[in-house]
Chains A and B, each alone.
Chain A
Amino acid sequence: MAAEKPKIEIKGVRDGLLITVGDRGDWPAAQDALLETILARSEFFRGARLALDVGPRPLKAAPLGRLRDRLADLGVTLWAVLSESPKTQETARTLGLEIHLARPRPGRVVRPVDTRPRGEEALLVHRTLRSGMRVEFAGHVVVLGNVHAGAEVVAAGDIIVWGHLRGVAHAGAQGNAAAVVCALDLSPTQLRIAEYIATAPPRQGPPVPEMAAVRDGQVVAEPWTPKLK
């Protein structure tokens, strides 16, 4: 359907080429239009480093991985995927792709989170984060799974891990020292709250749910108990 065909814009940026796929049309149509553009000028694109702006489309790992492989077949290296969709951003990160060009895109200012009233924005990560994975969010982050050693969670707000926390967690990353980090097993490689940095002592005995916070200029972890009294 010609009417549904998204517009493909190509421009040169410092790190290679940036292709912006217009918002019209679904993903298969967008991918076809993109590949068509590249095939039509395959000699020009061979060896290119490509950043792709997919707009608000939420993309899963399988289609994005396939596109990357198709592009690789054409001699094009996909190194970044830009999107407003958190789903697409997460997918791109798990595939090891960048989600920003070197400089932040204009018009996308990350809102600082300095107070925590009800209804604050949070990112739910319903999976285990393995070594090499990184989640960064300008709000709170909840991980339903483990954070393994070698993985990183960075949040402007609080971090809650329903599982082992063995990687690096940075809560209050934009300077909020009132942020907290909670985990069922709080054994991080390193814990940061705002500008305070701590490492966890070796655990004695079975893990209990704990919460870490800054008290008198130090990161302190305490067993987490619901405040019933």
Chain B
Amino acid sequence: MSVDAKQYSPAQQDCASHLSLAPTLKTDALTLGYGVRKQRVKVIDGLTLGLPDGKVTAIVGPNGCGKSTLLAGLARLQLPESGSVLLEGKDIQHLKRRDVAQRIALLPQETHSPEGVTVHELVRFGRQPHQGALSQWSQQDQSVVTAAMVAADIESLSERELSSMSGGQRQRAWIAMALAQQTPLLLLDEPTSALDLGHQIEVFELIQRLAHVEDKTIVMVVHDLASACRYADHLVAMHAGRVIAEGPPAEVVTPALVRQLYGVECRLIPDPDTGTPLLIGVRRTHERLSGSAT
């Protein structure tokens, strides 16, 4: 049992979400699952969570803990079994898809870059939630698209085909598309998976800039705990469909939490440059993961 990690019982989770000043996006006793009737599997179980505005929130946890499902639920892609996702205090299921798309941009893990499509053409898709059925491409749309490409630092490649670009460039193009949606909220599902270290840093620094300079609320699922510690303002640690710790990485990440999440031993030291927690000496633990459940 850990003492220093914040451990929440469901009742305490409620309190925690009310402490932050009514975040734009939050969940209320959200339960999400797959399958039908008897074979129904609950992936997220009664989750109450607030995503702080203007911050980078990283959702971390072992494989299959429900991170991506939570993100899909937040973006209205999945109908909750019970509970709700609240956007500006309103149940997201009662909002029109278009209205949601004007407030939340989603970059899923699974994207497809069709052949022959250029960066500029991809980014234009981001304007779809703002376009009427008959409305033409406007000057304003064009300037938003250009600004999005500038923000994602991809403007110099705007006429290049996606299929001819590196993974990092392509990911920046996709982020530019999400930016063109001009939403206060940006949900990213493993934005740096399949990228090498250089490209990872590129994307994470872009994400940080978006939150801190452009005041966007960013929620990202991150596989790598080390990057989450380094780049997130707020960390949500999930295990088996529940939030087991939540808060600034420097406060919540402890050897005990890491053991509970991933079943590994490690030591933590503050990063000499940024002060964020740094994991060192990671090795397998002999203790079984299930034994340390709260």
A joins B in a complex:
no
Contact residues of B with A, CB < 8 Å? none
| A contact set with B: CB distance below 8 Å | none
